[in-house]
C-alpha cells in the first residue's frame, strides 16, 4: 500500500513599499497596504474560497478516503483576518471534517533558522503552534520550516519542541541513492523523523494542473514506478495550482486524479500524523548545508548571494535589542522583516525580474530590493535607539499611573 500525503502551502507576506533614504526617521509605514489588500482579496475570491468549497464537497463525497494537509503561514493568517475573515471560517470548516490537518511552521515565514538565534527560532515555532491551535482546534504534529529548510542544526533545535517530525525537500544531493518515499531520522537527533517531498511527483502534478503538456497517464506512471515496498509519497504544492481563471478545469483534472488513485486499491490518502505514528525510520539523514524548496528557485538556494547574506546578517544583529524593546510595534515589525520573500527579491532569478509586469514587486532588480530593505532597516535601528532612550527616561521617572494596560499576543 502506497500512502499519499498531500500538502498545500499558503503564504502571503506583508509586502514592503518603496522606502527611500529620505524616508528614514519620517515615521513612514514599511508596508504597501494597498497592494496587500488587493492581493489578499483577489486570492480569496479567485482561489481560496471557491477551492475550499470544492475540496469540502470532494472530501464529503469520498467519505474519509480523501485526506490532505495545509501549511499556512502566520502572516497569511493575519492578513486573512484583516482583509478576508471569511477565509478563516472556510479553512475551519475543512478542519472540522476530520480529514484535513494543519502543519506547524515558523511565525511570519521567518528565515530565523538560518541564523544563530536559537531562542528566537524556538519562540517563533511556539507562536505558530499556538495560532494553529487557536484558529483550527488542532495541535500540529509535523513541523514544516520556511521554504522546507533543513539542516542538522535545525533538527537539533526542533528536537527541543514538541514536534516529532520535519518535512523537507527530497533532493538528490542529500538522498543520493535513497528514495524519498520512506521515513528517515535526523543523524543529529534520532528522535526527529524526516519526511521528504517527492520532487518528481509534486512537480509533475503541478505541471498537470497547469495544463503544461503532462497527461494523466504520465502522472499515474509516476506512482506505478514506485516500488510497493516504498510506503509514503509526500506531494507538496503551492495552493494556487488550484483556482484562478481556469479553476473549473483544474477542479475536474484534480477530481479525476483523486478518483483514479482512490479506485486503485494500491493507494490511499493519509494525514501526516498518521504516517508519523505508523512508520519508523529506515536510516539516518545528515546535512550541514541547507536544503530547501522555493518555488522557481533551485534546491541549493540558501544561504543565498552576497546581498541576501548581508541583509540577513544586519537584520539578526538587532535581535538582542529587539528583545529588550518596550514598544510592541517594534516587535511586530521585527517579525515581518524576517519574512523570506524580502530576501527572495534580492536574487536576479526572481520571476518578477524575468517577465515584464509579472508579480507584485515594486523593484526592477535585486539591488533595488536590497537598498529598499536596508533603508527600512536603518529606520528600524533608529526606532530601536529611540525606544531604548525612552525606556531609560521612564526608569528615572516615578510611575504615578494607577491604570494597567494589557496586550493580548501569542507569547
Q: Give domain status of residue 291, yes or no.
A: no
The pLDDT of residue 168 is above 60:
yes
Q: Is residue 395 part of a domain?
A: no
Are residues 262 and 316 both part of a single domain?
A: no
pTM of the model: 0.92
294, part of any domain = no
Each residue of 169-196: pLDDT tens digit?
Answer: 999 989 999 999 999 999 988 899 999 9
Over residues 197-217, mean pLDDT: 87
402 in any annotated domain: no
Please indicate, yes or no, whether residues 251 and 371 belong to a single structural domain of this protein: no
Picking from 62, 77, 66, the residue whose alpha carbon sits closest to that of residue 107 is 77
CATH of the domain at 130: 3.20.110.20
Q: What is the torsion angle, in degrees rounded to the nearest 10, for the CA atoms of residue 161, residue 165, residue 167 and residue 168? A: 80
Tens digit of each residue's pLDDT (9 = 90 or more) over 315-343 = 999 999 999 999 999 999 999 999 999 99
1-28 confidence digits (pLDDT tens): 889 999 999 999 999 999 999 999 999 9
- Residue found under cell 517530525: 165
- Residue range(s) defining the domain that contains residue 237: 2-285
Q: Which of 285, 319, 343 is the last residue of a domain?
A: 285
**pLDDT on residue 391:** 66
Looking at the structure, tell me whether residues 264 and 382 fall in a common domain.
Answer: no
Question: Strand 165-169 and strand 2-10: pairing?
Answer: unpaired
Q: At what angle do helices 118-136 and 74-83 cross, to 10 degrees?
A: 40
**DSSP 3-state of 268:** strand
At which residue does the C-alpha cell 524575468 appear?
Answer: 354
Whether residues 206 and 345 share a domain: the answer is no
- Regarding whether 88 and 189 lie in a shared domain, the answer is yes
Residue 281 forms part of a structural domain:
yes
The reply to whether 64 and 196 lie within a common domain is yes
Dihedral, CA of residue 301, residue 31, residue 374 and residue 320, to nearest 10: -90
Whether the predicted pLDDT of 279 surpasses 90: yes
The rounded Cα 256 to chain-centroid distance in angstroms is: 28
Domain count, the chain: 2
The contacts of residue 181 (CB under 8 Å, 6+ apart) are: 2, 196, 198, 226, 230, 231, 232, 233, 234
Closest residue by Cα to residue 329 from 256, 379, 399 = 379
Say whether both 93 and 229 belong to one domain.
yes
Q: Has residue 75 got a pLDDT over 60?
A: yes
Does 155 reside within a domain?
A: yes
Same domain, 384 and 314: yes
142 falls within a domain: yes
Quick one: 326 and 216 in the same domain? no
Amino acid at each position: 500500500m502506497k500512502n499519499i500525503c498531500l500538502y498545500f502551502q499558503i503564504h502571503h507576506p506583508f509586502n514592503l513599499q518603496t522606502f527611500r533614504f529620505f524616508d528614514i526617521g519620517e515615521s513612514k509605514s514599511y508596508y504597501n497596504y494597498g497592494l496587500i489588500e488587493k492581493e489578499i482579496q483577489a486570492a480569496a475570491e479567485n482561489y481560496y474560497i471557491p477551492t475550499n468549497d470544492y475540496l469540502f464537497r470532494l472530501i464529503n463525497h469520498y467519505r474519509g478516503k480523501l485526506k490532505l494537509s495545509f501549511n499556512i503561514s502566520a502572516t497569511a493568517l493575519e492578513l486573512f483576518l484583516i482583509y478576508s475573515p471569511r477565509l478563516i471560517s472556510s479553512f475551519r470548516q475543512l478542519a472540522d471534517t476530520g480529514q484535513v490537518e494543519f502543519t506547524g511552521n515558523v511565525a511570519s515565514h521567518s528565515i530565523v533558522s538560518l541564523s544563530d538565534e536559537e531562542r528566537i527560532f524556538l519562540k517563533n515555532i511556539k507562536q505558530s503552534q499556538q495560532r494553529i491551535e487557536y484558529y483550527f482546534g488542532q495541535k500540529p504534529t509535523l513541523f514544516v520550516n520556511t521554504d522546507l529548510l533543513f539542516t542538522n542544526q535545525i533538527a537539533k533545535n526542533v528536537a527541543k519542541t514538541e514536534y516529532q517530525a520535519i518535512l523537507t525537500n527530497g533532493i538528490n544531493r542529500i538522498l543520493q541513492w535513497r528514495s524519498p518515499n520512506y521515513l528517515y531520522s535526523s543523524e543529529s537527533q534520532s528522535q526527529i523523523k524526516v519526511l521528504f517531498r517527492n520532487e518528481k511527483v509534486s512537480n509533475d502534478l503541478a505541471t498537470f494542473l497547469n495544463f503544461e503538456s503532462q497527461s494523466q497517464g504520465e502522472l499515474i506512471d509516476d506512482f506505478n514506478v514506485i516500488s510497493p515496498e516504498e510506503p509514503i509519497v509526500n506531494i507538496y504544492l503551492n495552493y494556487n495550482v488550484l483556482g484562478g481563471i481556469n479553476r473549473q478545469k483544474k477542479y475536474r483534472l484534480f477530481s479525476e486524479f483523486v478518483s483514479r488513485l482512490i479506485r486503485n486499491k494500491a493507494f490511499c490518502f493519509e494525514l501526516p500524523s498518521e504516517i508519523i505514528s505508523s512508520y519508523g525510520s529506515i536510516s539516518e539523514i545528515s546535512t550541514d548545508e541547507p536544503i530547501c524548496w522555493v518555488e522557481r528557485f533551485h534546491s541549493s538556494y540558501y544561504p543565498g548571494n552576497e546581498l541576501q547574506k548581508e541583509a540577513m546578517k544586519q537584520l539578526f544583529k538587532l535581535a538582542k535589542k529587539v528583545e529588550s524593546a518596550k514598544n510592541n510595534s517594534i516587535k511586530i515589525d521585527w517579525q515581518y522583516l524576517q519574512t523570506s520573500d524580502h530576501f527572495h527579491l534580492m536574487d536576479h532569478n526572481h520571476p518578477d525580474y524575468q517577465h515584464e509586469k509579472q508579480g507584485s514587486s515594486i523593484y526592477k532588480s535585486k539591488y533595488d530590493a536590497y537598498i529598499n530593505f536596508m533603508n527600512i532597516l536603518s529606520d528600524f535601528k533608529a526606532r530601536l535607539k529611540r525606544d531604548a532612550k525612552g525606556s531609560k527616561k521612564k526608569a528615572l521617572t516615578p510611575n504615578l499611573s494607577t491604570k494597567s494596560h494589557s496586550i493580548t499576543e501569542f507569547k
